[in-house]
Structure 1
Amino acid sequence: DWRGQGLADRMLTDARVGHITLFTDYQRDVAALCAAARTLELPQPLHLIAHSMGGCIGLRAVMEGLPVASCVFSGPMWGIQMSRPIRPAAWALGWGSGRLGLGHMFAPGTKPASYVTSEPFEANVLTRDPDMYAYMRRQVAQAPDLGLGGPSLQWLHQSLQECRELVRRPSPDLPCLTFVGSNERIVDIARIRDRMQRWPRGTLEVVEGGEHEVLMESPEIRARIMAGILALFDTASHPVKPAQTA
């Protein structure tokens, strides 16, 4: 788990707040994971699967030379979905909160309770599969330490900065497959489309009717996505060598 989430160390006394000091701190977690992979002598080559915020972290990692043969993203946070009038306010609020010592406070519109425990299935923006939503709820009920509320103002500011910086960089020279739900309402689909149009060996697959958690949609959707992921990993692990000329 990334710092500030899951069973990893939380950054604030109030463990319900999704907080980070600098977004690039997540790269220290990536480095620790890579070091563990080397120590454990895990099979090579390595591949990357990154979802949502992990997609933002993973994109910077592969841009900076993460030793993977290919990468897969689902609902990657390469931009945060918000209306045009709200975006300048979010920038100003995030920037100003740190200077006023309020960066630890919840971002507007978010709350301390874990999303899956506070939102009914009918209104959720994560999945259209009731069984998977019930599974997420059971997880938090059985392991409350996994629960997480909304992000902090500091996290919001750092995330906006990171997305703005990454959009200016070229795509890495890696095979890439990205999935996004057609009903995505959390991350910015336009940013995803723009990135994948600029990814020479990249493919974008829009999951019709899918929400943010496309890997937690119906069994049929999950099976189709996993088949695509495994096919990419297999191809990237065994690249076809160009024919030798006489």
Structure 2
Amino acid sequence: MTLFSTKDNPVPAGAQTGQVATADGVSLRFARWDPEGPAHGTVCLFAGRTEKIEKYFETVRDLLKRGFTVAAMDWRGQGGSQRLLRNPMKGHVEDFADYQYDLEAFMREVVIPSCPAPFFALAHSMGAAILLDSARAGERIFDRMFLVAPMLELSLVKHDVAARRLARVLTGIGFSRAYVPRGRRVRLNEFHFDGNRLTSDPARFARNLTITMEQPQLDVGPPTIGWVTAAFDLMDRFAEPQTARAIRQPLLMVAAGDDQIVSTPAIERFGTRLIAGASLVIPGARHELLQERDAFREPLLAAFDAFIPGSAR
């Protein structure tokens, strides 16, 4: 499987790429890198919804400099992994439990056989929610998990209760694979830095847009009604107080103070209930903390260095 470079976003040297099949028959793209010297362990990098490995090349370099082997994958239905519907632009999944097949296959076929222990996770948004769901189910795959803006509750949805009801009704009557109401693929020339809710860094915003413009096959559009219904089901489980208390996985959640995509208060509430974890907030930052300005990104990496043992930084 191929990784794609752009002028301002070259593939980090030494990439090893391939594909792996899940237990339910979905093909996933993965990549891994080794540091120049002895590795202090492996950081597994898990992206959010719509994202691809290419978006995290800068983060891969940061981790390699810290002395870690890095392993990354694209979730089913996005990036370079197999799409699930005839229309490849539809972001779809029937049940968030399906993502556990992706996690299991990636760890079993890629990380455990060929990457040095201990294993750590660095996950963003939807990816962080998937890892939390694994921990909720009693899995203990990683020594520690560093979760950036985990998707515990959405802040961009108005009339939350009504949206939940509508999504479940539409799914129940057979519209699971349709785009969310008014959901459409926004043309690339309609994306503008001004007013975007993801990052305050114009250079990183432009870099990520260039990846999509030059490699549109890696892109994915709005979610389907089924995806939204499955996400609401997962977030409802996270809202139950006993969910956080049942997790024994050591973890740190980092929230963005100006997050307009997921709910920062929900992350803080969840953090107070954890027995082996905590949360912190980076004031003023937007949702994509790893794509933010250095003023926000550097405190995030400092928190990573403090929490993940073995970092050379």
Q: TM-score range by the shorter chain?
A: 0.7 to 0.9
Q: Secondary structure at the match of 1:141?
A: helix
- Ranges of 4+ aligned residues in structure 1 off by more than 4 Å: none
Q: What CA RMSD, in Å, does the superposition of the two structures yield over aligned residues?
A: 1.9
The residue type equivalent to 1:69 in the other structure is D
Which of 50, 62, 71 is the matching residue for 2:135? 62
Q: 1:221 & 1:92 partners in 2: Cα distance?
A: 36
Shift of 1:91: 1.7
Task: In structure 2, list runs of 5 or more residues that go unmatched.
Answer: 1-73
Unpaired runs of 5+ residues, structure 1, are 237-246
Aligned partner letter, 1:208: P
Q: Paired residue for 1:17, among 90, 98, 108?
A: 90
Paired position in structure 2 for 1:153:
225
CA distance, structure 2, for counterparts of residue 180 and residue 109 of structure 1: 28
Paired residues of 1:117 and 1:137 also in contact (CA < 8 A): no
Q: Quote the Cα distance in structure 1 between the aligned partners of 2:140 and 2:90.
A: 29
Please give the residue correspondences for 1:49-198 in structure 2 after superposition, counting only pairs within 5 Å: 49-63=122-136, 64-82=138-156, 86-113=159-186, 118-168=190-240, 169-171=243-245, 172-198=247-273
Task: Name the one with the larger helix percent.
Answer: 1
Among 200, 213, 222, the residue aligned to 2:297: 222
Matched, 1:8 2:78: no
Task: Determine if contact 2:135/2:248 at 8 Å carries over to the other structure.
Answer: no
Q: Secondary structure at the match of 1:47?
A: strand
> Which of the two has greater strand per residue?
2
| CA positional deviation for 1:131 | 0.4
- Quote how far apart the aligned CAs of 1:170 are: 2.8
Residue 94 of structure 1 and its aligned partner are, at CA, apart by: 1.4
- Greater RCO, CA 8 A, separation 6+: 1
For 1:81-110, what per-residue CA distance to the aligned partner results, in whole angstroms no more than 9, with x for missing partners? Answer: 2566x2232122211222322111111343
The answer as to whether partners of 1:2 and 1:29 remain within 8 angstroms in 2 is: yes
**Residues 282, 299 of structure 2: 8 Å contact kept:** no
Listed one character per residue, the Cα deviations across residues 27-82 of structure 1 (whole Å, up to 9, x for unaligned) are 00010111021222x11111111111111101011232132111111111011125
What count of residue pairs does the alignment treat as equivalent? 233
- Structure 2 partner of 1:240: none
Taking structure 2 as the reference length, what is the TM-score of the superposition? 0.70
- After superposition, the Cα gap between the structure-2 partners of 1:9 and 1:146, relative to the gap in structure 1 and judged at 3 Å, is same
TM-score, normalising length: structure 1:
0.88
